[in-house]
Amino acid sequence: MEKLIDIANRAVADYGFRQAVLYGVADIARRWELSEEESALLSGPVLAELSALPIPVQPADIPAEQARVAGVIRGRIRS
């Protein structure tokens, strides 16, 4: 889960990395050695969250957005 949150945090903070995730999610999952469950989460709900972010996320908003997306990840994995 922490690796997935790390990816999400980077993608929130950096538009270039976000693009790498949005258009190469399988490649990112492979490079970060995500589990099947984590890969499914990344390519599903996490991707949806990332694609809805503003470009770029303003610096002041980054911590809150990161916390929100991390919350989505934690909620999904718990359930």
Partner 1 sequence: MTTADGDESIMNNHITRVPSESDSITATAESGQDSPVLMLNLNRYTVAAGYPDGDEYLTYMAQLEESAGRVDGKVLWRTPAAGQPVGGEHDGVDEILAVWYPSHASFLRLREEPGSYEMYRLRQVCFASAVIHRCPGDRFPLQPQRKWACATICANQTHPGSMKLTGRLQDKVAIVTGGASGIGRAICQRFGREGAKVVVADRNIAEAEETLTLMGATPDNASMVDVNISDSFQVERMVNEAVTQFGRLDILINGAAILIRTPDLVDVDEVLWDLTMETNVKGVFLCCKYAIPAMTANGGGSIVNISSMSGVRGVGYSVPYAVSKAGVIHLTTVAASQYTSQGVRINCIAPGGVDTPQMRGSTASAEAFAGRNEGHPMGRVGTADEIANLVLWLASDEASYVSGSTYIIDGGAWAGAQ
Applying CB under 8 A, which residues contact partner 1?
A: 14-20, 22-24, 27, 31-32, 55-56, 58-59
Q: How far is the CB of 73 from partner 1 (least distance, A)?
A: 19
CB closer to partner 1, 56 vs 76:
56
Between residues 52 and 55, which has the closer beta carbon with respect to partner 1?
55
User: Considering beta carbons, is residue 32 or 76 the nearer one to partner 1?
Assistant: 32
AA identity, residue 23: Y
Q: Which residues does 70 contact at the CB level (< 8 Å), separation at least 6?
A: 5, 8, 9
Cα torsion through 48, 14, 18, 53, rounded to 10 = 30
